[in-house]
Every structure is written in structure tokens, then in C-alpha cells.
Amino acid sequence: MRVAITGVAGFIGANLAGKLVEAGVSVSGIDNLSYGLKENVPSGVEFHEKDIRDSGLGELFKGADVVFHLAAKNCISDCQSDPVETASINVAGTVNVFEAARLAQVRKVIYAESSALYEGISQFPTPESDVQPESFYAVSKLAGMHFAEAYKRYFGMTFTALRYFCVYGPVQDYRRTIPPVMSAFIIKLLKGEQPVIYGSGRKRRDFVYVDDINEFHMKCLTDSRTDNRTFNLGSGRNISVLEIYEAISEILGVSIEPLFKPDLPGEAQETLADISEAKSVGWKPRTDLETGLQNAISYIKGEMDKGRI
Ligand SMILES: NC(=O)c1ccc[n+]([C@@H]2O[C@H](COP(=O)([O-])OP(=O)(O)OC[C@H]3O[C@@H](n4cnc5c(N)ncnc54)[C@H](O)[C@@H]3O)[C@@H](O)[C@H]2O)c1
């Protein structure tokens, strides 16, 4: 089997590529390295530094059975400050990927939506049935969803849409201005500095470990029950930001008061996945929070030892 991945130098893409190479799958990947790093791309992957908006993607996808489309501008605050670039990458870029997959006669496209599609919904746990995006990021993901529907309708293409909740684990990008909450806490606490909590810390998030979603990715390759369906990928449990803070502090054996700052724009107060749909095809998240956190901490410590942080 041959698989192509967009966003292969990013967090989820690099983890997925590693898993596929381990399983003996032939993997190629593209990334423009705007957020991701080339060193994240596992050896054995044929890497092309390319933007998803470029022409000629069809050539790169030739011979691929499946395309995972993961590349996106995906930091909510970055998207809020640049809606034009957000639409250019997440909408026009996504359509360019779908079109290239069509031209290359790829059997299936598996692409990333997001739990951000549920921003305005207050039904918890949240099923896949209704969406109410609010932020520019979420709206751009909704546009991708509609384009996938149209490609199915007019060209009979096969898609699987993945609505990731808060994925965490090794290789998660910690370099951005406002890093994902777990990485941000781990780095500051390891340095003995005061981490920042935006808002009251009562926002609740459904965290899911990256190896667990990789199990679902692998299932999508071969299990036809995943064809033309949409799946929430979360753990089905949520935890407040303050509770995460306490859990990380406890594992690290430190006690530092966080610094509270005003809430960030465009962020939902709560996320909690209804994962019955994913369970119905035989998947379940297996990694408990403590094990996942230990692995995330080991990764950050490794980066510190290499002098990268
Ligand atoms: N990580 C999460 O918790 C989460 C949650 C919901 C949805 N998602 C979605 O999953 C996907 C992967 O997320 P991630 O956490 O790995 O993000 P990431 O930022 O680590 O990876 C995305 C990659 O896409 C690349 N990229 C961005 N714009 C590009 C462009 N124009 N052309 C080519 N490459 C480009 C970046 O350089 C980066 O390497 C994204 O679509 C994201 O929106 C992630």
C-alpha cells in the first residue's frame, strides 16, 4: 500500500508517518514547513517541501492508494488574526488537495476536521450530527467538509472525516507563540517558571493521546466501515485546564502558582466527544492520561537535553 500525507512534518502527520513506515507501508509526504520541522519527518518517508496550494500535487499523489490530508493553519489565535491566510490554506489549499487526489485517482482521502466545529454547541458529550463553528479556523474546516461532500456527490470519491479533539503526545509543536496547553505547562514547570493560564482555568478539554488516534488512522486504511463517514476522535472524558495543571505539577513534583491572563478569543469553554460512532467500528482510546502525560514530558525533556528549548 502507498500512502501520501499532507502536513507530514507536523505533530499528527509525523506520528502517523512513523507508524505507517513501521507497518511497512510506503509513505510520501508534503509540508511547507511553516509550522512543522523537517527533522520531525521519520526516515523512510519520501519528503517534498511543498505548499498544498501549489500546482502539481496530482503528480505527487500518483500511485498513492490513500491520502491523509492533515496540513492546515490550525492555531486558533493565529487564524483569528489572519482570516484571509486561514481561508487560503484551509479552504483553497484543501480543495487543491481534493482535486489532486481526484486527478491521481486516489482510492480514499482521510482528512482532518476538528472539534472546533462544535464551538457553539452546548450538548455534552457532543455527537457528530450537528455543527456550529464560530472562529475563522472552525469556519474554514466547515468549508472543507462541504467541499468533501461535493466531491463525493459529483465524482463519487471516498472520504473519511476525522474530528480530532485535543490530541497530545510527543512531537506536539511547542514553538508557536501560544503553544498547546500541555506543552506550555510542561516547559514552564520544567524550567521553574510561572506558566500562563488564559481565562479562569475552568475550561474543560477532551484530550486524546496521539497513539490512540493512530490506531484509528490504521483502521481507516483497511476497514470499509469507515468509508464516507465522520468520526469524533476524543477520549470521551474531559478535564479542566486547572486539573491538567495539577496533574502535570504532581508528576513533575513541583508547586508553582500559575499566572492568569485574559481568555483567548475564539476558544470554546468545553469540549467532550461522543465517541460512539468510532466505537461502533471497533476503536477505543486506550492510553490513560498519566501514561500519556509521562510520554509528553519525556519528549519535552529530550528536546531540552538537545538544547532546542
Ligand atoms: N492537534 C490537535 O489537537 C488537532 C485538533 C483538531 C484538529 N486538528 C487538525 O489536524 C491536522 C494536523 O494537526 P497537527 O496538530 O499535526 O498540526 P501541526 O501544525 O503540527 O501540523 C500541520 C502541518 O501542516 C503544515 N502546513 C501548514 N500550512 C501548510 C501549507 N500551506 N502547505 C503545506 N503544509 C502546510 C505545517 O507546516 C505543519 O507541519 C490539522 O488539519 C489540524 O487542523 C488537530
pLDDT in tens, 204-242: 999 999 999 999 999 999 999 999 999 999 999 999 999
At residue 44, the 3 state secondary structure works out as: coil
Which residue has 499523489 as its cell numbers?
61
For a ligand 1 pocket test, name from 30, 35, 52 the mutation site with the most ligand atoms within 8 angstroms of its C-beta: 35
**257 C-alpha to center of ligand 1: Å?**
32
Cell of 175: 514553538
Tens digits of per-residue pLDDT, 43-54? 999 999 999 999
Q: How far apart are CA 26 and CA 4, in angstroms?
A: 9
Q: How far apart are CA 37 and CA 133, in angstroms?
A: 29
Cell of 59: 503528480
Q: What are phi and psi of 4, to 5 degrees?
A: -110, 140
Indicate the average pLDDT of the chain: 96
Q: Which of 43-57, 126-140, 199-213, 263-277 has the lowest average pLDDT?
A: 263-277
Tens digits of per-residue pLDDT, 150-183? 999 999 999 999 999 999 999 998 988 888 999 9
Q: How far apart are CA 275 and CA 169, in angstroms?
A: 20
Which residue has 506543552 as its cell numbers?
183
Q: Residue 18 contacts by C-beta under 8 Å, 6 or more apart in sequence?
A: 42
For a ligand 1 pocket test, name from 41, 60, 70, 238 the mutation site with the most ligand atoms within 8 angstroms of its C-beta: 70
Percent of the residues in the chain that have a pLDDT greater than 90, as a whole number: 94
Q: How far apart are CA 133 and CA 117, in angstroms?
A: 4
Show the CA angle centred on residue 170, arms to residues 139 and 97, nearest 5°.
Answer: 40
Q: How many CB atoms lie within 10 A of CB 150?
A: 12
